[in-house]
Structures are given as C-alpha cells and as structure tokens.
Amino acid sequence: MAAESEYFQRDRALQPPAYTPAYKTSVTRSPSRALLSLANSLSEVTGPVFGHAELGALDHDLVRNYARTGDPIGPRIIVHGRVLDENARPVPNALIEIWQANAGGRYRHKKDNYLAPIDPNFGGCGRTLSDAEGCYFFRTIRPGPYPWRNYINSWRPAHIHVSIFGAAFAQRLVTQMYFEGDPLIATCPIVQTIPDAGAVDRLIARLDLNESIPLDTMAYRFDIVLRGRRSTLFENRLAGN
Amino acid sequence: MTKLDYLHETASQTAGPYVHIGLIPNQAGFDIYENNFSNVLAGQATKGERIRIEGCVFDGTGTPLRDALIEIWQANAAGRYNHPADAQQKKKLDPDFRGWGRAGTHFETGVYAFQTIKPGAVVGRSGRPMAPHINFWIVARGINVGLNTRMYFSDEPDANGKDPVLNLIEQETRRDTLIATREETKDGVLYRFDIRLQGERETVFFDI
C-alpha cells in the first residue's frame, strides 16, 4: 500500500488568516506567533476510519431524522456533491457531518436565544459517508439567515456548516456552505475572512435543477476538495523502521 | 507561468458557536443519533494505562473558551495508529482502540476532558522515534482554520528531550507549552493540558 505518501503543503493564500479583525471574535482567539511548519510523520498521514455500521439509516436525512409530528417547515432541498482531493481523485469513505439553523434562522441549541421559533420537527444535524466515487448527499430544508453580534446589524447569509474527515488527520476540515444568489455573502465578515475571491466562490453551492426532484425537492451542488498527496516517485524518509 | 491542473483545497470557515449541534448534539441539548462520538476513547478491553486528560483553552485575555471543540488522535499503547498507512508491523493493533475522540469545553467552566490510554512511542521520519504524544485539533467561534498541536507527557523527559518535533521549536521555553503535567489523583492518573491561543505563553501550533 502506497498510503505513506505525504500531503501537499496547505495553500495558506486560499485560507483565512487567524487574525481577521472585521470578524471580531478572532481578535483574542488568533495565535499571534507563526505556525511551526511540520513535515508529515505517521501522526499526520493517519486518521480515524469510520464505518457504515456507526451511522443510523436516517442520519443523512434532516427532513426525517428528527420528525415528530410531521415534516419540518421550509423549502425542501438536496445537498449533494463529491469529495475530491487536489489531484481530483475521489475521497471515498469520508465522514461528512453537517449542522444548520432551521428555516427561520434558529438553531436547536441551548445557547441560541434568537426570537425565531424552534421547529419541533427539525434537529438540524446530519452525517454520512462518501461512496467509492466520493459522492455524498443529504436531504434537508433550506436554512434561514439570522442576526449575530458582530456589528449591531450583522446578518449571516444562509449557510450549512460542514465538517469533513478525509483519510488523514492532515485533511481534517471544517467549513460553511452558502447558497447561490444570497446578497448577504458579499458583506459577511466571516465569509470575507477568506482573502481569495475564487476560494469564496467555491463555498457557494449552485442550484442544480438536473438533480432536483420534480414537484418535490430542489437540489444544490457542493463539491469539497481536501488536500492532495504527492506520488511516491522517490522515498522521502517518511517511512520508519 | 503554466497553470497546472490541480484543484484547490476548500477554504476553511469557523465552526461557530453551535458546533455542538453537528458534532456532539447531546451537549447542544438534544438526543438525535443512536451512536454518538464521545470523549471516551478507551473501553474495558483496551490495552494500556488508563489516563484522563483535562484542561482549558484560553483566549488572549486569559478567559477560557466555553464553546470550543477539541478532537484528539493517537496511537495505541504499543505505539501504532489504527490506520492502514501505519505499517509498523512489529507493533500490534488493538481491536478495542480506534484512537480518536472529541470533546466540547464545558459551557460554564470551560474545562474539556478525555478518557483514554497513554500511547506508546511512534516511529517518526527517517526512523527516528517520536516521544509518546497525542495530536490535538481545536475549532471554535473565532478560529478561522482549525488549530493543530500535540500533547506530550511530563513523565517522559528523556524521550521528550530527543523528540524530533519538540526539537524543531527554536525557543526552548516554548516546548513546555506542549507538555502535559502528570498528577496521581484518587480517581487515577490525570494529565493537565491547557491550551493558550494567544499571549505570553501561547501554545505552539503546527502547520501540518
């Protein structure tokens, strides 16, 4: 197995810096010293492996996984896409976990006290594993925008939080998926922590009418790219013993 | 410059204040999954010395984060990772140990905790042994890209002194930010490991 190869260096120009003062919370939570660059060892090129047996049959279906008296309120959507690496190879068996507000912009969370109501039929989280081609899908409802305390009048664009495990701890990623056409994206201090316009654009899911189910559910497409790995053309002293 | 045909890694965004909903829904205050990932890594059959890890994640003002999420990834007691890329064949896999867990910091105290086993030493690059360590990944509101660091053990001074990663840290005093202190308590062995995001004793974070 040629699994010991190293991962490409993370391209920090496409990632938000730690200190982004327009997103105020980052000011006291950002390391002020440079990160120490570490060549990959076994500790970085390994990571937890998850199996289908750990997930429930409805874990990927947010329309049904917390339904009590009926379906949740809001536009029914499918979110689907592929998990690829930077070499455009599919990443199979990637654990993808999502969480989101309900259609009114309210989270089912002890600490969220926004006045929009909790939806009794919506939990707001789901999880799945990508298949052999890296494909994944969720069914959910479209989340609403909501206010937050950054500036007095700050509103988050509608978004779904996404957490992904690839094959290695070095590929671990948390991000947020936005929706095509949302006017709040351009002014959101969290979105705008990302310095590269192309990188922002790739966080915006596109309406995918081809995958939409007529008279039932619209689809959005969101592809996820994890770090790629070098080919093992020559040994680079990674393997031990 | 020639444009090569690579894709670009998806940009990171903060996990936000409600990370619990997605990753540890019980802490958010509701029960949805049958099988929940947790901060307990070691079961009854797991081999190795039982340890508890506890600490806080402090911001630049010295205030503990009450909304952080931490994941750890570690080798088993023999020093082998439960992953196909670890080919240290002389060390046995432990079928009762995955080596991964996640914990939220407490909403009032800010304390996080893991129950696990002390890992063995893993071979490093060029065959140089690394001192026993646990890999940490920290996300929270206000953290734009998840932070990677390592926890080493205070009762391994010789191994720590030779560890190739600790030795990369130019300022020797900063190496101490990665060393958890061992305490024997009535409930067993406890390692205290505080993480400081910013300031004088800022933890060393890695770009892995």
How many Cβ pairs closer than 8 A exist between chain A and B?
281
B159–chain A Cβ distance below 8 A for any pair: no
Q: Which of residues 129-158 of A touch B (CB under 8 A)?
A: none
**Catalytically annotated residue among A159, A178, A220, A229:** A159
CA distance B6 to A225: 10
Whether residue B144 and residue A44 make contact (CB cut-off 8 A), yes or no, is no
| B106 CB-contact burial (10 Å; exposed 0-12 / middle 13-18 / buried 19+) | middle
Q: Which of residues 76-135 of B touch A (CB under 8 A)?
A: 81-88, 90, 98-100, 107, 122-128, 130, 133, 135
Whether residue B19 and residue A161 make contact (CB cut-off 8 A), yes or no, is yes
8 A C-beta contact, residue B187 and residue B158: no
Tell me the pLDDT of chain B averaged across its residues.
Answer: 96
Average pLDDT over residues A71-98: 98
CA distance A220 to B128: 48
Task: Output the pTM of the full model.
Answer: 0.96
Interface confidence (ipTM) of the complex? 0.96
* Model confidence at A2: pLDDT above 60: no
Residue B126's pLDDT band, with cuts at 50, 70 and 90, is confident
Average pLDDT over residues A203-230: 97
Best residue in B83, B102, B108, B144 for a mutation probing chain A (most A CBs within 10 Å): B144
What is the per-residue pLDDT across A7-17, written as a single tens digit (0 to 9) for each? 999 999 999 99
Tell me the pLDDT of chain A averaged across its residues.
Answer: 95
CA distance A95 to A220: 19
Residue A5's pLDDT band, with cuts at 50, 70 and 90, is confident
8 A C-beta contact, residue B60 and residue B120: no
* Model confidence at A240: pLDDT above 60: no
Average pLDDT over residues B144-167: 98
Residue A238's pLDDT band, with cuts at 50, 70 and 90, is low
* pLDDT-above-70 percentage for chain B: 99
H or E segment to which residue A84 belongs: strand A76-85
B29–chain A Cβ distance below 8 A for any pair: yes
H or E segment to which residue B157 belongs: helix B157-162
A60 is catalytic: no
* Model confidence at B1: pLDDT above 70: no
Q: What is the distance of C-alpha B95 from the center of its chain?
A: 21
What contacts B147, CB < 8 A, 6 or more positions away?
Answer: A31, B136, B137, B138, B139, B197, B205
CATH, domain range A12-22+48-225: 2.60.130.10
Q: Report the chain A residue with the minimal C-alpha distance to residue B135.
A: A43
Residue A235's pLDDT band, with cuts at 50, 70 and 90, is low
CA distance A111 to A113: 6
* Model confidence at A233: pLDDT above 90: no
* Model confidence at A29: pLDDT above 60: yes
Report the pLDDT value the prediction gives residue A4, as an integer from 0 to 100: 58
Q: Please name the amino acid found at residue A45.
A: V
CA distance B67 to B154: 28
Residue A241's pLDDT band, with cuts at 50, 70 and 90, is very low
Domains of chain B: 35-196 (2.60.130.10)
Whether residue B124 and residue A241 make contact (CB cut-off 8 A), yes or no, is no
What is the per-residue pLDDT across A114-145, written as a single tens digit (0 to 9) for each? 999 999 999 999 999 999 999 999 999 999 99
Report the pLDDT value the prediction gives residue B182, as an integer from 0 to 100: 98
What contacts B50, CB < 8 A, 6 or more positions away?
Answer: B42, B115, B116, B117, B188, B189
Report the pLDDT value the prediction gives residue B4, as an integer from 0 to 100: 85
* pLDDT-above-70 percentage for chain A: 95
- Mapping DSSP to helix (H, G, I), strand (E, B) and coil, where does residue B150 land? strand
Residue A3's pLDDT band, with cuts at 50, 70 and 90, is very low
Domain edges within chain A: 12-22+48-225
Average pLDDT over residues A194-218: 98
Whether residue B13 and residue A1 make contact (CB cut-off 8 A), yes or no, is no
CA distance A93 to A95: 6
* pLDDT-above-90 percentage for chain A: 93
A136 is catalytic: no
Average pLDDT over residues B117-124: 96
A187–chain B Cβ distance below 8 A for any pair: no
The helix, strand and coil proportions of chain A, stated in percent and rounded to the nearest 5, come to: 15, 30, 60
Report the pLDDT value the prediction gives residue B127, as an integer from 0 to 100: 86
Chain B residues lying within 8 Å of A194, measured CB to CB: 11, 13
Residue A228's pLDDT band, with cuts at 50, 70 and 90, is very high
Report the pLDDT value the prediction gives residue B112, as an integer from 0 to 100: 98
